[in-house]
Amino acid sequence: KEGEQSGKINWSGPVSLLKQITDGSQSDAKAFYPGGGTGVLMEDGTLVLPVQGENDNEPIPMIIYSTDDGNSWDVSKGTPPAKCLNIRITEWEKGQILMVLQCENGQRVFESRDMGRNWMEALGTLSGVWVNPHSNIPLVEILRIGALITATIEERRVMLYVQKKFPSEENANALYLWITDNNRTFHVGPLFVENDETKTFSNSLLYSDGALHFLYDNGKESNRSVSLARLT
């Protein structure tokens, strides 16, 4: 029932995925780091995680994926353009992985339909997240995507993401939930209003059993907390 504890969850210890990468899919990257954002469980059961590779101090956005429930992992054969950070991924159409990246020339969207072997710019997709600031780095940072997921709500497939508004708009320091079916886009909120004392450092969305949840890390650098809010 609502408000009652549903049971205890036991978590296993952390497991290094590097040791589970198959020999045939080794990458040229010399180091791997968490890519940011959340992983994706695709319609065919494949698990996909964003990973930030590094080679000669150059960041390499990529994915790793597992088709056997996480027992072994493969590294994507291809990568979007280098020097891109803050990876966010989701599955839009079946088998289509969308990747939002913060690059030197703005915030871009790329797509792959072959598990990362080939990537191309997804022009016309997620039009609200594209930022081409002509070297206006603060604008790229302000409009950076915090969370990105795909969900089916009332029989309509939509993408949901968390983003601020342009600095010139009202409540520009607030985080909003944006919803799009790739034809129309609208926002609700604010979800959280930042000020000089309190900021958000990262956030995530989860849609499960008909309920949408918002998880966010907020506070000061020296005093941070993680909060979970149910949005629906």
Whether 165 and 116 map to the same domain: the answer is no
Kindly tell me the burial class for residue 232, based on how many C-beta atoms sit within 10 Å of its own C-beta (0-12, 13-18, 19 or more): exposed
In the chain, what percentage of residues exceed pLDDT 90? Answer: 22
Whether 126 and 170 map to the same domain: the answer is no
- Which helix (H) or strand (E) segment holds residue 137: the answer is helix 137-142
Residues 102, 88: Cα–Cα separation, whole Å: 9
Q: Are 162 and 177 in contact (CB under 8 A)?
A: yes
Report the pLDDT value the prediction gives residue 81, as an integer from 0 to 100: 74
Give mean pLDDT, residues 55-72. 87
Number of domains in the chain: 2
Report the pLDDT value the prediction gives residue 48, as an integer from 0 to 100: 95
Q: Are 177 and 160 in contact (CB under 8 A)?
A: yes
CB 37: neighbour CB atoms within 10 A? 23
Whether 36 and 134 map to the same domain: the answer is yes
Q: Provide Rg for the chain, Cα atoms.
A: 18
Residues 6+ apart with CB under 8 A from 214: 147, 162, 177, 191, 203, 204, 205, 228, 229, 230, 231
Give the confidence band of 160 by pLDDT, cuts at 50, 70, 90.
Answer: very high
Domain containing 192 equals 146-231
Is pLDDT larger for residue 201 or for residue 159?
159
Whether 88 and 161 map to the same domain: the answer is no
pLDDT at 170 over 80: no
Any domain includes 1: no
Report the pLDDT value the prediction gives residue 68, as an integer from 0 to 100: 92
Any domain includes 42: yes
Whether 20 and 124 map to the same domain: the answer is yes
- 103, HSE (Cβ side, Cα atoms, 13 Å): 20
User: Kindly report the CA angle at 229 between 225 and 232, in degrees rounded to 5?
Assistant: 170
Please write the tens of the pLDDT for every residue from 102-145.
Answer: 887 778 899 999 999 999 998 888 877 777 655 455 555 667 78
Domain boundary among 97, 121, 143: 143
Is pLDDT larger for residue 37 or for residue 122?
122
Residue 22: give its domain's CATH number.
Answer: 2.120.10.10
Strand residues in 166-210 grouped as ranges (E): 174-180, 185-193, 199-208
